[in-house]
Structure 1
Amino acid sequence: MEELPIEPQGILWQTDFITAEHEARLVQIFRTKLVWPDVRPGGRISLHYGYTFDYKTFGVDPDIPFKPFPDWLQPLIPPTTYEGRPPEQVCLQYYPPGAGIPPHVDTHSIYDQLYSLSLGAPVMMQFRRGDDRSEVDLAPRSLMKMSGDSRLHWTHGIKKRKTDTLSDGSVRLREDRWSITYRWLRAGGECECGDAKLCDTAQRRNGVEREYRWKTYDADNVGLLPLPVDTKDSGAESQAVAAEP
């Protein structure tokens, strides 16, 4: 994998991780063989393998047993030469045209490395830190790894919209897209990055606890993201402060 020469640093990229023929077979499986949960029309939907992602704590759900990787997923696991072992949590997501995911960081204390394989139509992903913005065009069959700054100090998300405007000014319609996210659990459950805005370990050490609730970040992005709650003053009512989107 090669690092993209952009900000944020730490985005590693591999073009054509699988062939177009392999991708077509996978899309056929996704469309006809898998049982997807019922959700509101137009929203993204997810299936989990290995440990199940917990949308209440943004960690893993301890009450759901480890789900073995199915046969179709086995060839898609990044080589053990990349991280030394297979991932512990894998999430398959379907994005219908117009669907997105709010800007977020994957929980620092629970998850270490983060990879994503894009399938189907391309889409623009936006990385954000304060007023800084950077977009990456997620091409079909590309494998992306987030490490360093891109993983820990910038949020990432996909805007909820029907089209993407490309760098040359052209407008591209969105179509059906799938992604496979691979997560490795962090040994020891502690992150040492020290980012008080985005790191749950740093927040906890500073006396900040997190609540999880629905919050609107942008007019076109609504999602479940953590809100740190300052609990240093136990005699006063805690005040929720929105995490950096």
Structure 2
Amino acid sequence: MKTTTQESFLAGQGMARRSFLRFAGASAVAAGLMTSISSCKKNDGTDFQPVDIGSGDLAVLNYAYALEQLEAAFYTQVISNPYNGISADERALLTEIRDHEVIHREFFKKALGSNAIPELTPNFSAINFSDRANVLGAAKTFEDLGVAAYNGVGYMIQTVDYLVLAGKIVSVEARHAALIRNLLGLNFADSTILDMNTGLEKSQTPAQVIPQANAFLQGFKISAPGLGA
């Protein structure tokens, strides 16, 4: 799939890329958000820098941007260092996912402009990139977390255009999640991600998601008091 096709898909009907960027720019001026970074120490003595993503719609966009950075970095490494025995079909599918995540990341980065949080540094030392089960297991974690994160923050979005965008992206992330589960031979919609009584996807709040995401980051870590995390 070509990048131009993916970008057109992301923009979607009624939500042209230039329109979204215009709305984002207007909100940035209105909110006057300044990303604050201050040195800190964890209890174990390890240095890190918490990044406060602010509040309101821009905080939600930065929250999504952080998650997309993490996913894009993961799949980029998967394709750069494919696991042992990877098939041509699996490589092609994972390459498409990588391309989607990179487009998502760059989309948020451009939309946020000077209000974007810094580029994050991933720490994937716990993942064995040479082992198929380990890589696909990590991919499942990232995709399920991404879907739960978008669903859990949707109600906080005030700008309709942002809500439309989030709905389009979470739909793509859900397709990724189903594909990864299929590669693992798992049920695409089991009780770990769905409420089996309602048939609805389970969601996670920023307070639940951010510690999980931060576990895969070094240097800058995400802080979101404006989103209750």
Give the structure-2-normalised TM-score: 0.29
Larger fraction in helix:
2
Larger RCO (CA within 8 A; separation ≥ 6)? 2
- Relative to total residues, which structure has the larger strand share, 1 or 2? 1
